[in-house]
């Protein structure tokens, strides 16, 4: 799919701006998942970017400009061992197998 750099962002956000910041991140194309959590960090976001340069730009420009962000830690995903519900072909997403007897969708015949 061309997106080789993924990471988890652990953010510490001012409590009064937690919802606002979470909603903002949820609207970013780079963020498929964001959630409020407990502990030293109070917001976690999964991020997918084309490469490490794009990840760096995203963190330094868009996350850096997000309201109330006090601190950020990045956990890059170097190798994925398991991801429930997602079919993988090596490091790439794969098409899930069809159940027997199910017709091939028209869009897949192109």
CATH class of 5-93: alpha beta
Give the pLDDT of the chain (110 residues) as one tens digit per residue.
456 789 999 999 999 999 999 999 999 999 999 999 999 999 999 999 989 999 999 999 999 999 999 999 999 888 767 666 666 676 666 777 766 666 655 655 44
Q: What residue segments make up the domains of the chain, in order of their start?
A: 5-93
| SS3 sequence of the chain | CCCCEEEEEEEEECHHHHHHHHHHHHCCCCCCEEEECCCCCCEEEEEEECCHHHHHHHHHHHHCCCCCEEEEEEEECCCCCCCCCCCEECCEECCCCCCCCCCCCHHHHC
Cβ atoms of 41 and 10 within 8 Å: the answer is: yes
For the chain, what is the largest distance between any 2 Cα atoms, rounded to a whole number of angstroms?
54
- pLDDT at residue number 110: 45
pTM over the 0.75 mark: no
């Amino acid at each position: 799919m061309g997106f080789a750099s993924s990471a988890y962002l652990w953010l510490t956000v001012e409590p009064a701006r937690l919802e606002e910041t979470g909603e903002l991140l949820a609207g970013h194309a780079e963020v498929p998942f964001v959630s409020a959590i407990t502990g030293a960090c109070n917001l976690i976001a999964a991020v997918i970017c084309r490469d490490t340069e794009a990840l760096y730009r995203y963190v330094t420009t868009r996350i850096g400009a997000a309201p109330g962000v006090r601190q950020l830690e990045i956990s890059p995903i170097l190798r994925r061992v398991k991801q429930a519900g997602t079919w993988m072909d090596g490091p790439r997403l794969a098409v899930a197998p069809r159940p027997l007897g199910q017709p091939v969708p028209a869009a897949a015949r192109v």
